[in-house]
Amino acid sequence: MRYLRDSIIATLVYYDIFDFPLTVPEINKYLINPERLSSLRSDLGAIQAQIRENLDDLASTGDIGFKDGFYFLPDRDALYKLRIEREAIAVKKWKKLLKTAKWFQAVPFLRAVLVSGSMAINNTDEDSDFDVLAIAKSGRLYTCRMFLSLVASLFGVRRTRYEKIAPDKFCFNHYITDGKMNIRHESLFNAQTYANLKPVFARDGIFGRFYAENIWLEKYIYNSLRSDLKEVPRSDLVINFITKFLEFILNSKTGDWLEKCFKAYQHKRIKNNPATYESGGRVVFNDNELEFHPRSFEAFAINKYNKKLKQLGIVQRVEEKDSGLTV
């Protein structure tokens, strides 16, 4: 099937942008939906065996490279060694991340902490920070953000706007609320990003609900339905008590007043930040979402992806676009 072959190559092209070779299970998991490349309906069912057959054929003809279980584009053999090195770095970074992140469970109204970006796929270098998607209780978004920033600052692990490089620090660049978890900005880049989220903790079925509300991922990724949507509950009884106590105090008229104050304060800072108005990224601030990507890698990645597919003679139904970044 030509369209499956093209989809496999397109997936390798996309991850090549991040210097990331893939295994068979990963290609199966991240496979760009063949319908992005062909007008034929791609109801292929379970296709990992077919993927392996196509990979064997592509490797035998030299259309792709292969080494010790990893597949990559031709003449990109160096990615094998790079991935092994980056995975070793990621193991160390995950230990640091989890050691600190357990204290975030004490933050009132924080329902989930989901790691994204390079950490989510263990593709880190020594300078990598920790990108995080935080899910807050609806109606307490700004209170949650204030307390989360405070806790991270107390541990000296919050990345600030002034730090261009911040190894092992948390970059809280995206918040949503549990009442509205649908991500409105659809694109191949965002689909791959959100399909790879790794939970540090999540409760009340929120991890599964996130994917149920973002069914649009299926338009971009063939196997976007995840099978690992287990709960990651708050494990420490003392921390859990602190959280419940703070939420009991702040679920009140005083808490409503504080939420308004925190919102006004944070909106003022966001509006006064020149980065808010830069082109090539997106900054969102409302009652359901806070997103801080003023300088996004997305447009570069999408443009490079489209260009490479053209070079390889792979015709898309429609060229991929970014998710609506500012221009």
Residue 233 has pLDDT above 60, yes or no: no
**Which CATH topology does 2-76+299-311 take?**
Arc Repressor Mutant, subunit A (1.10.10)
pLDDT over 70 (residue 40): no
pLDDT of residue 49: 86
3-state SS string over 247-266?
HHHHCCHHHHHHHHHHHHHH
Helix axes 188-195, 298-311, angle to 10 degrees: 110
* Domain boundaries, given as residue ranges, for the chain: 2-76+299-311, 88-296
Burial class of residue 185, CB neighbours in 10 A (0-12, 13-18, 19+): middle
pLDDT score for 204: 82
| 45 burial level (CB within 10 Å; 0-12, 13-18, 19+) | exposed
| String of DSSP letters for 102-142 | GGGGGSTTEEEEEE-HHHHTT---TT--EEEEEEE-TT-HH
Among 46-50, 208-212, 222-226, top mean pLDDT goes to 208-212
Find, among 282, 321, 278, the residue nearest to 299 by Cα: 321
Q: What percent of the chain has pLDDT over 90?
A: 82
- Taking residues 231-238, what's their average pLDDT? 69
